[in-house]
């Protein structure tokens, strides 16, 4: 890579006079700009040395890659005369003068609380759907499967218990997650949730007589809003008590007083008031669903993807949880928001696939194919921001398809019994009797969005594509064709080992879109349980960051691997990290690369997830994760199949 040339192109594309400050991390340039709209996005998109761009937290970030980004940054600083700053300083510069949107801050708060507990709700909901297959009449005959086969009644009853538990004791799950978010002890949060759902409560009809005050023994099973308010109070009390109580008694009396005061106020004030608010909200949405009918569903479907663009959809899990909990207790109509989201996601995916058929741009074809599949499985951001909004008309065609699909779903009373993947696989979350119509509605949404995009695109896409494409010289075209062939011929099939011990998980779960959307390449993530970092390959250390938070390796068989320890941990400047290798050093599989104090990094407020990325992913026909469970350092993690 010609670092000087890349830096010149970046400066030209973002505008030298538009630059306020610049920093870099292990993979990307991080820029603060005066006006993001002045960026020549089309030029950056076609730049062969730029792997992607995105905006977040007031920063415009350009992905260059490990081992190259620091050199490009050095050239950029020389050319512009900007002062070198750390990524931490850059965040402060980006935030300077910007007001916090209270609505978005509240939505982010809800998202932080509910996203971690969604897997438990998905499991419970899918078990509920499975039990519905056993107990619903008319699916496989006039009678239910349980009635026709009494031998499976015991299994059905067991599944019913398992499916109901996550919703019945929802305050415990919310209590733990909210306590973590509000800065309280998670186990005290769980304790409050347990207190609110304990079977020893006699119900609203019974009460405690406390000095003449009658306090109802209300159970708060299936509730969300009352426990959120209670945990906020718990966190407030715990923090204040830690400050005012002497250390000699703090350990004992802070938990005691926090739980006792919170519990008393929950049963006397917070619980009754917030339960009323919760009932109003749930009943209001059910009333809206019943009153607006298929017209309301259609309008919701027409707007849903636009709502996703604003981020407001992140507040929906809090509402959906209430709807599903009410459905689980036999009082609600089910989750109609999930149904609308599925229609919208499928429609955006259909429009993206239509662009794949229409475009002659090879880079866009590759992006459209992967983004389209992602949208059909419930993740639309790559399709929305990477394809449809670039051309605009596919986005609006998808809105129309989504509106028709959602309206048909409302007309046929399609409803969800659980959360899940809001796409074609979403049928697993749908109430069994309405699954056939759910599939029909999705096909309608897909067909309309796809057809509209094709028809409109034939007359409007050509001109837009030509503005995106740039002329390529014969020399550049030849180099571009020969370079991949040369690099790919060197790679061999290979197994990449786990560099750390911990819980292996899919890369899509990482809370950073550079990794979760695989902009740097395919790979896997590990939530580490130990701080020792080992080499996953036998090869050479291409990049050894002084901060110790990332390593770039190239195996003797050709795989180029990035190990990134934690998210935004570059801000620590090497604090809590220790690197044991140097650049160009040859290492063996299992050789220790470095160490990290995980607890200290967590205490600083950073996510310690370790990403293992194959940065030359295009050189392989397949990259598969061999294990998504507990791993030890040295276990097989990724299998690479060369082209």
Q: Which residues are catalytic?
A: 25, 564
Q: With 0-12 CB in 10 A as exposed, 13-18 as middle and 19+ as buried, what is 212? A: exposed
Asked whether the beta carbons of 613 and 512 are under 8 A apart, the reply is no
Asked whether the beta carbons of 137 and 147 are under 8 A apart, the reply is yes
Instruction: Measure the CA dihedral 362/364/367/368, to 10°.
Output: -110
Q: 10 Å Cβ neighbour count for 100?
A: 9
Report which of 643, 376, 640 is spatially closest to residue 522, judged by C-alpha positions. Answer: 640
CA angle 566, 567, 568 (to 5 degrees): 120
Task: Tell me, letter by letter, the H, E, C secondary structure of 316-359.
Answer: HHHHHHHHHHHHHCCCCCCEHHHHHHHHHHHHHHHHHHHHHHHC
Q: Measured between alpha carbons, how far is 464 from 360 in angstroms, rounded to an integer?
A: 11
Residues facing residue 496 across a β-bridge = 638
Report which of 68, 74, 73 is spatially closest to residue 542, judged by C-alpha positions. Answer: 68
CA 365 vs CA 372, 383, 450: distances in Å: 10, 12, 16
Helix axes 393-411, 271-310, angle to 10 degrees: 140
The helix/strand/coil state of 113 is: helix
Instruction: Measure the CA dihedral 496/500/506/511, to 10°.
Output: -130
Q: 10 Å Cβ neighbour count for 338?
A: 26
Q: With 0-12 CB in 10 A as exposed, 13-18 as middle and 19+ as buried, what is 401? A: buried
Asked whether the beta carbons of 347 and 449 are under 8 A apart, the reply is yes
């Amino acid at each position: 890579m010609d670092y000087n040339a890349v830096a010149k192109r970046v400066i030209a594309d973002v505008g030298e006079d538009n630059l306020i400050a610049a920093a870099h991390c292990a993979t990307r340039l991080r820029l603060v700009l005066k006006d993001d709209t002045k960026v020549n996005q089309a030029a950056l998109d076609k730049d062969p040395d730029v792997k992607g761009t995105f905006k977040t937290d007031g920063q415009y970030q350009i992905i260059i890659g490990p081992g190259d980004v620091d050199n490009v940054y050095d050239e950029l600083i020389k050319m512009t005369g900007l002062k070198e700053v750390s990524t931490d300083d850059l965040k402060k510069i980006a935030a300077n003068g910007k007001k916090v949107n209270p609505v978005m801050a509240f939505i982010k708060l809800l998202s932080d609380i509910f996203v971690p507990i969604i897997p438990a709700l998905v499991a419970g909901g899918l078990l509920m759907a499975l039990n519905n297959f056993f107990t619903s009449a008319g699916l496989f005959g006039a009678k239910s499967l349980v009635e026709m086969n009494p031998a499976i009644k015991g299994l059905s009853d067991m599944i019913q218990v398992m499916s109901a538990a996550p919703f019945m004791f929802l305050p415990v799950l919310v209590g733990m997650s909210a306590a973590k978010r509000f800065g309280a002890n998670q186990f005290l949060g769980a304790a409050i949730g347990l207190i609110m759902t304990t079977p020893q409560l006699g119900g609203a009809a019974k009460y405690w007589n406390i000095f003449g005050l009658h306090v109802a023994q209300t159970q708060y099973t299936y509730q969300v809003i009352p426990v959120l308010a209670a945990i906020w109070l718990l966190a407030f009390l715990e923090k204040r008590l830690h400050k005012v109580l002497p250390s000699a008694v703090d350990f004992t009396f802070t938990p005691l007083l926090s739980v006792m005061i919170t519990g008393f106020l929950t049963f006397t004030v917070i619980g009754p008031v917030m339960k009323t608010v919760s009932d109003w909200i749930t009943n209001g949405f059910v009333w809206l669903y019943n009153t607006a009918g298929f017209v309301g569903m259609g309008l919701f479907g027409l707007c849903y993807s636009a709502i996703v663009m604003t981020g407001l959809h992140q507040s929906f899990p809090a509402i959906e949880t209430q709807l599903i909990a009410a459905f689980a207790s036999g009082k609600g109509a089910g989750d109609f928001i999930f149904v609308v989201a599925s229609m919208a996601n499928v429609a955006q995916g259909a429009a993206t696939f239509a662009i794949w058929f229409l475009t002659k741009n090879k880079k866009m074809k590759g992006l459209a194919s992967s983004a389209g599949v992602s949208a059909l499985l419930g993740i639309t951001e790559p399709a929305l921001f990477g394809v449809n909004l670039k051309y605009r008309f596919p986005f609006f065609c998808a809105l129309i398809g989504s509106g028709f699909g959602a309206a048909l779903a409302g007309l046929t009373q399609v409803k969800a019994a659980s959360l899940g993947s809001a796409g074609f696989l979403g049928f697993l979350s749908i109430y069994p009797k309405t699954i056939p119509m759910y599939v029909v509605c999705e096909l309608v949404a897909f067909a309309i969005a796809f057809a509209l995009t094709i028809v409109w695109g034939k007359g409007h896409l050509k001109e837009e594509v030509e503005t995106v494409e740039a002329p390529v010289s014969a020399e550049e075209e030849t180099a571009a064709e020969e370079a991949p062939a040369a690099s790919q011929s060197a790679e061999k099939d290979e197994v990449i080992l786990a560099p750390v011990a911990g819980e292996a998980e899919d890369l899509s779960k990482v809370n950073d879109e550079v990794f979760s959307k695989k902009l740097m390449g395919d790979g896997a993530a590990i939530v580490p349980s130990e701080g020792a970092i080992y080499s996953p390959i036998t090869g050479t250390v291409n990049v050894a960051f002084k901060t110790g938070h990332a390593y770039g390796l190239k195996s003797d068989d050709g795989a180029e691997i990035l190990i990134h320890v934690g998210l935004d941990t570059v801000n620590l400047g090497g604090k809590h990290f220790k690197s044991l290798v140097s650049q160009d050093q040859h290492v063996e599989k299992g050789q220790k690369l470095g160490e990290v104090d995980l607890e200290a990094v967590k205490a600083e407020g950073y996510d310690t997830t370790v990403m293992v990325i194959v940065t030359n992913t295009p050189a392989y026909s397949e990259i598969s994760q061999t294990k998504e469970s507990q791993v030890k350092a040295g276990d097989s993690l990724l299998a690479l199949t060369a082209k």
